[in-house]
Amino acid sequence: MNFEYNPETAENLENVNLEKIEKRENELSLDEKQYLIENWKVEVVDGPFGVEEVKQIDNQELRQILNQSLIGDIKQLSDEWGIKPNKDLSEKDYIEETQIQINDLAKKAEGDTHWDSWPKRMREDEGFNCVGATLLGISALKEKGIESYYGTPWGHAVNIVFSSGNWMYADFRNNVIKEIYPEEIILAGHRMLKIDDEDIDYKLVPIYDNSLAAGSIIGNLSELEAEKGNEERQAIYQNIKQKLFPEFKENENTEEMQIEKERVESIQEAEREAKDYLTKLSKENRKEVVQEIINKKELIRGSMLNEELVGKFSNELYNFLRLLINELSGITKKEVKKEVIDRFLRKVTKL
C-alpha cells in the first residue's frame, strides 16, 4: 500500500499527538490521586466519599468526584445550620434572604476562621472564610435554580449571579450584594468580568463553573501546610492543584492579573494600616482626623501621589499620612497608585 504524504493531515496529526502528550503530562500520577483522595476523606468532607478504581479515573472525572462530595456535604451542613431561604421569594429577595442567614452565622462565629473553607473544618469551628461562605452560597442558589458562577477576584472568593439578564456580585462573607454592570472579557482563555464599582475593591473577577471551588480548597490545604512548616506536603498539594485546576494559575500569570494583584493588595494594606492607626486614637481624636481628611482631601491626594507632604496638617494626621506614603511607595504604576489613593480616601471617611 502506498502512502501519500499530506502536509495538512500530518500537521493535524502532530497537533493531536501534542495534545495527548500534554494531557498525559498534566494527569495526576496514581500516587497523587491516592494522596488527594485519602486526605480529602480525612480532612475535607464528613459525608460518604469513595473511589473504587483510582487507576481508571482521569483528572476530569476526579474533579467531578471532588465537587459532588463537596457540594453534598455543604448541602448537609447548610441544613444543619438552618440556611433555608424561602423558595417562593423572587430571585432578588431570595438572594438577599440568603445573605441575611449567612451573615447571621458569620456574626456568631468565634475565633480564627481563616482556614474554614471546607465542610469538616467549618462544622468543627462553626465558622467560615470567603471560600466557605461562597460554598454555602452555591448550595443555596442551586436550591432555587439560580444561575451562578464561582468568582475568584485576587485573594478572594465570591458568588457571581446571573439573574433575569443581570449580573450580581454576591460576597456573602462580607455582606456585599450588588448588581454590577461588567464588561465580559476573555483572559488566558477563560471568562472574566471587568467591573468598576466604588464599593468593590476588585476590577477583574475570573468566573468559573462552581465545581472549581474544590481547587481553592486544595490551595488552602497547601497554604495551611506551609503555615505549619510542612514544606513537602505543601509542595504536593501545590502540584496537585496546578495539574487538576490549571485555570487558576493560567489567569494569575497574566500581566493584567499581576497589575490587579498589586492594586488590590495595596488597597487592602492601606486600609489595614488606616484601621490599625485610627483605632489607637481616642474616639474624639479619630473623629477630628477623619474630618480633617474630608476637609483637605485634594491636598492629601496630591501629597500622597507625589510622596511629599505639602501643607499644614495636625500631628495625628501628619503621622498617619507619612505611614501611608511609606506603605504605598512600592507601587510602580502611577495610575494604580492614584486609584489606590482615591479608594482609600473614600473608605477612610466612612470609618
Q: What is the pLDDT of residues 75-126, one digit of tens each?
A: 999 999 999 999 999 999 999 999 999 999 998 887 778 888 999 999 999 9
**Domain co-membership, 113 together with 241:** yes
Residue 173: closest CA among 133, 141, 119, 220: 133
Residue 236: count of CB within 10 angstroms of its CB: 19
**Domain co-membership, 242 together with 264:** no
Domain boundary pick from 253, 281, 315:
253
Q: Is the pLDDT of residue 185 over 50?
A: yes
Residue 219: closest CA among 150, 139, 126, 136: 150
pLDDT band at 339 (very low <50, low <70, confident <90, very high): confident
Residue 345: count of CB within 10 angstroms of its CB: 17
Residues 6+ apart with CB under 8 A from 108: 126
Residue 148: inside a domain, yes or no?
yes
Residue 18: count of CB within 10 angstroms of its CB: 10
**Domain co-membership, 160 together with 282:** no
**Domain co-membership, 241 together with 264:** no
Residue 46: inside a domain, yes or no?
no
Residue 288: inside a domain, yes or no?
yes
Q: What is the pLDDT of residue 1?
A: 36
Residue range 284-308, pLDDT digits in tens: 998 999 899 999 999 999 989 888 8
**Domain co-membership, 299 together with 326:** yes
Residue range 142-173, pLDDT digits in tens: 999 999 999 999 999 999 999 989 999 999 99
Share of the chain above pLDDT 70, in %: 92
Distance (Å, whole) CA 286 – CA 290: 6
**Domain co-membership, 195 together with 272:** no
Domain boundary pick from 223, 253, 283:
253
Domain of 320 in residue numbering reads as 259-348
The DSSP secondary-structure symbol of 212 reads: G
The pTM is what? 0.85
* Domain count of the fold of the chain: 2
**Domain co-membership, 196 together with 106:** yes
**Domain co-membership, 177 together with 300:** no
The residues with which 159 forms a beta bridge, in sequence order, are 150, 170
Residue 10: inside a domain, yes or no?
no
